[in-house]
């Protein structure tokens, strides 16, 4: 890293999706300057070759700006679609019967092919089938191994290869397709930091992805299926982070169900100590407009008040007309909310009880002591990042400076609430720990002369998962004059 940079003033992270409107090195740099802390690479669009220069541009930005920068690769997951029609498009009349079958013959207004064996296996009477992002609704009357007879409850025009959602079924379908396996291998080879898994229905869906990742990236579960809600806590326990994928949730569930589910998912992730991202349609109107609606501003603010670790832009930054303005707006909303005197109380509405471990006890104590003695920052020495996650879960009122000898740990911390990660050499003694904590807090503008900082670490040093030290340090005036030029 070439220089020390100051941390963001806000604690919630901003995750920006890259796409045609923002893939160039110049735009990525401008997004970073506007407030983007992490970047999402959507594997659903474009080929793998087109992603290589994008990832390289982020890594170059990381070097020039001196801050470990997070890359999340988002896998497409299975896509359920109907077949094709002889005329390209048909009108489904409300109240009529419509058949989905295994016959590849082009369809008409009475039937069409459904090329997904798994749906026939899981189908049951009275289940709903949603077409074209929920614009049309079919109700299943009867099912056999090669024929589903439905009644059209909400009609409309249906054209070739439109998407299908089955909210009332748990499909015997793996979350990883062949494309996903290839994309996952590519993402690991490119050293991305997080891999997001789509179409998670059950905790078992995460096992193959975890095995294929092999510890080389963190695994994030996208909660977008109603079936995932029924086993939410088990899923959260099996992953490293969670995304509230509200777009698909809003298709498969009534729109009014999504806000309380969002709060439930955020609360569960926070309670279990997993970073949680709120995503999809947050500033949707800014795809076309330079300013958001008041309702969208309120939506973003709600996620910040709920204590989400990160808030995400999708098409707004990837393909919209105003990508820089979208990130700037997200940044300014989050900053304004966090300056609200009531923000701290609202964030701590979720109770995060520590596990009966030394590390959890110290994380909670660090938060409480920082508040009691009005500390300027918490400095966390960590190898695996687990201590940083524990402290971030507590949502302290002060910034968390994460010092780690592992660059991958520093990069993954980019989705953690309130953290500023630095890749630096490890310490070997208690005295070195104290001196380095002071020096780095000063260098990154988190503390000044007379300030107290809270330091957490594990002894023996360099042993992952051994956090057992909490120390309160006061920075004296002479140290302010002498820290510059010292080795990181």
381 forms beta bridges with 403
DSSP secondary structure of 395-460: --SS-EEEEES-HHHHHHGGGSTTEEEEE-PPP-SHHHHHHHHHHHHHHTTS--TT-EEEEEEESS
Catalytic: 280? yes
Residue 216 neighbours by CB distance under 10 Å: 14
**Among 30, 65, 81, 263, the one annotated catalytic:** 81
End-to-end CA distance of the chain: 10
- In DSSP terms, which residues pair with 422 in a beta bridge? 403
Residues 221 and 379: their CA atoms lie apart, in Å, by 29
Residue 162 annotated among the catalytic residues of the structure? no
**Catalytic residue chosen out of the listed positions 11, 40, 225, 274:** 40
> 67-91: buried (b, 16+ CB within 10 Å) or exposed (e) per residue?
bbbbbbbbbbbbebebbbbeeeebe
With beta carbons less than 8 A apart as the criterion, state whether 426 and 383 touch: yes
Structure tokens at 393: 């879960």
Residue 481 annotated as catalytic: no
Decide if 13 is catalytic.
no
Closest CA to 65 of 19, 111, 7, 112: 7
Catalytic residue among 8, 10, 51, 222: 222
Q: Which residues contact 397 (CB under 8 A, 6 or more apart)?
A: 344, 367, 370, 371
For the record, the structure tokens of 418 come out as 């309130």
Task: Enumerate the active-site residues.
Answer: 40, 81, 222, 280
């Amino acid at each position: 890293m070439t220089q020390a940079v100051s941390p963001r003033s806000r604690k919630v992270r901003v995750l920006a999706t890259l796409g045609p409107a923002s893939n160039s090195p110049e735009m990525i740099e401008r997004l970073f300057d506007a407030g983007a802390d992490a970047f999402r690479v959507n594997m659903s669009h474009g080929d793998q070759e087109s992603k290589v220069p994008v990832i390289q541009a982020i890594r170059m930005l990381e070097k020039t700006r001196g801050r470990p920068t997070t890359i999340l690769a988002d896998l497409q997951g299975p896509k359920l679609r109907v077949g094709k029609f002889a005329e390209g498009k048909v009108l489904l009349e409300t109240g009529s019967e419509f058949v989905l079958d295994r016959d590849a013959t082009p369809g008409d207004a009475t039937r069409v092919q459904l090329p997904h064996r798994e749906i026939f296996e899981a189908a049951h009477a009275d289940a709903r089938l949603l077409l074209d992002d929920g614009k049309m609704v079919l109700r299943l009357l009867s099912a056999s191994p090669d024929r589903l007879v439905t009644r059209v409850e909400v009609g409309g025009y249906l054209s070739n290869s439109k998407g299908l959602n089955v909210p009332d079924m748990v499909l015997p379908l793996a979350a990883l397709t062949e494309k996903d396996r290839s994309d996952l291998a590519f993402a690991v080879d490119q050293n991305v930091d997080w891999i997001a898994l789509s179409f998670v229905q059950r905790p078992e869906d995460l096992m193959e992805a975890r095995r294929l990742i092999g510890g080389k990236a963190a695994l994030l579960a996208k909660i977008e299926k109603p079936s995932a809600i029924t086993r939410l806590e088990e899923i959260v326990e099996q992953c490293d982070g969670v995304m509230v994928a509200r777009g698909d949730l809003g298709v498969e569930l009534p729109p009014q169900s999504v806000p309380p589910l969002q709060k439930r998912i955020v609360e569960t992730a926070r309670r279990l100590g997993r970073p949680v991202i709120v995503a999809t349609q947050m500033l949707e109107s800014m795809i076309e407009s330079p300013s958001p609606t008041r309702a969208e501003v309120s939506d973003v603010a709600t996620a910040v008040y709920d204590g989400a670790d990160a808030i995400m832009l999708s098409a707004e930054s990837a393909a919209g007309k105003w990508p820089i303005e979208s990130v700037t707006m997200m940044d300014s909303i989050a900053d304004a909310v966090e300056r609200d005197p009531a923000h701290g109380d609202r964030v701590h509405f979720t109770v995060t009880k520590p596990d009966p471990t030394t590390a959890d006890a110290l994380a909670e104590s660090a938060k409480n002591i920082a508040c009691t003695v009005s500390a300027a920052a918490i400095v966390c020495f960590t190898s695996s990042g687990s201590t940083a996650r524990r402290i971030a879960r507590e949502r302290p009122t002060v910034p968390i400076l994460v010092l780690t000898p592992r660059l991958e740990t520093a990069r993954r911390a980019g989705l953690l609430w309130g953290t500023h990660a630095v890749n630096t050499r490890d310490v070997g003694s208690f005295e070195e720990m104290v001196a380095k904590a002071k020096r780095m807090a000063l260098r990154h503008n988190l503390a000044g002369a007379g300030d107290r900082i809270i330091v957490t670490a594990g002894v023996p040093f360099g042993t992952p998962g051994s956090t057992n030290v909490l120390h309160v340090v006061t920075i004296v005036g002479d140290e302010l004059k002498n820290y510059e030029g010292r080795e990181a």
